[in-house]
Amino acid sequence: MNSTADSIEIAGRAYGSRLLVGTGKFRSHQVMRDALVASGADIVTVALRRVDLTNPAEDILSFVPPGMTLLPNTSGAVDADEAVRLARLGRAATGADLVKLEVTPDPRTLAPDPIHTLRAAERLVAEGFTVLPYCSADPVLCRHLEEAGCATVMPLGAWIGSNRGLRTRDAIEVIVSQAGVPVVVDAGLGVPSDAAEAMEIGAAAVLVNTAIAVASDPVAMARAFALATEAGRLGFLAGPGAVLDVAEASSPLTGFLA
């Protein structure tokens, strides 16, 4: 895909790749780095709880390839207060206003908290952050987040880390149909075809982490997700034909009447 022809714009900045990637669960920082490069992603998200500026040799940030846009996330925050505090730490550490908002009070499911996510989003927007919120695949919540000034919405495709695919497809279709900001499907995409499916139904981008990190060959899987994301996007832009219950002849049966 020619990035200038079909870039995604987030908060006024254009990005060529519609695949965003995460940095958790990799076997080593070096493998993570290689996978990030292979993904062709422009935006990479890093958990602030993993960042340790006092130990640069082991710090995960040292292994993010130069040129990638760092998207700090508030993973581990259990309420709005913690998320806001972490976002401020992230801004201090990176100098950027971008933040991926994650509020997950339930350590078992890591399901996003809709109430505290919205509260934190309102506060962070007021503080000048560019907020990309991870959220449930809830059309009304996504409306609220957009009205709060979020730069995107990031509804989950399935439980985070589950690799279960686009289980929330019906809700994502509604969200895509009404959103005025980019819809980034985050969490649960397990294989490249899941990413393609999300893109085909009109998602602006996808974010993938576990499926790449725990693959036997994370570098190859990152490349596969890049290709699938691009293919899905092309398919969406190409305008798929309708899905019908019965066969339809390629040539109109009533053409002779013309």
CA distance 75 to 87: 10
Site string for other proteins, 197-216 (x = CB under 8 A): -------------x--xx--
In the list 89, 125, 174, 191, the residue contacting other proteins (rule: CB under 8 A) is: 89
Taking CB under 8 A as the binding criterion, the range among 1-9, 25-33, 174-182, 238-246 that sits at the site for other proteins is: 25-33
Helices 114-126 & 139-147, crossing angle to 10 degrees? 20
56 near other proteins, judged by CB under 8 A: no
- Residues 107-146 binding other proteins (CB under 8 A) are 107-108
Taking CB under 8 A as the binding criterion, the range among 18-26, 127-135, 143-151, 191-199 that sits at the site for other proteins is: 18-26
Of 33, 100, 116, 233, the active-site residue reads 100
- C-beta atoms surrounding 28 within 10 Å: 10
In the list 24, 139, 157, 232, the residue contacting other proteins (rule: CB under 8 A) is: 24
Give CB contacts under 8 A, 24+ apart, made by 221-225.
Answer: 221/35, 221/192, 222/21, 222/35, 222/36, 222/38, 222/39, 223/38, 223/39, 223/40, 224/192, 225/19, 225/39, 225/192, 225/195
**Minimal distance, residue 82 CB to other proteins, in Å:** 8
50 near other proteins, judged by CB under 8 A: yes
In the list 21, 48, 156, 199, the residue contacting other proteins (rule: CB under 8 A) is: 48
For residue 156, is it left (φ>0), alpha (ψ between -120 and 50) or beta?
beta
- C-beta atoms surrounding 193 within 10 Å: 17
| Helix (H), strand (E), coil (C) string for 138-178 | CHHHHHHHHHCCCCCEEEECCCCCCCCCCCCHHHHHHHHHH
Q: In the chain, what is the greatest distance between 2 CA atoms, to the nearest angstrom?
A: 79
**Minimal distance, residue 20 CB to other proteins, in Å:** 18
Nearest to 77 by CA among 101, 99, 97: 101
**Side-chain-side CA neighbours of residue 243 (13 Å):** 1
100 in catalytic set: yes
217 near other proteins, judged by CB under 8 A: no
The token pair at 106 is 């339930």
**Minimal distance, residue 89 CB to other proteins, in Å:** 7
By rule CB under 8 A, what count of residues binds other proteins? Answer: 28
Please, which residue, 24 or 165, has the CB nearer to other proteins? 24
In the list 6, 163, 171, 227, the residue contacting other proteins (rule: CB under 8 A) is: 163
Nearest to 125 by CA among 104, 152, 94, 159: 152
250 near other proteins, judged by CB under 8 A: no
**Minimal distance, residue 231 CB to other proteins, in Å:** 26
**Minimal distance, residue 100 CB to other proteins, in Å:** 15
Binding footprint of other proteins on the chain (CB under 8 A): 24-29, 48-52, 55, 58, 76, 78, 82, 86, 89, 105-108, 161-163, 210, 213-214
Active site residues: 100
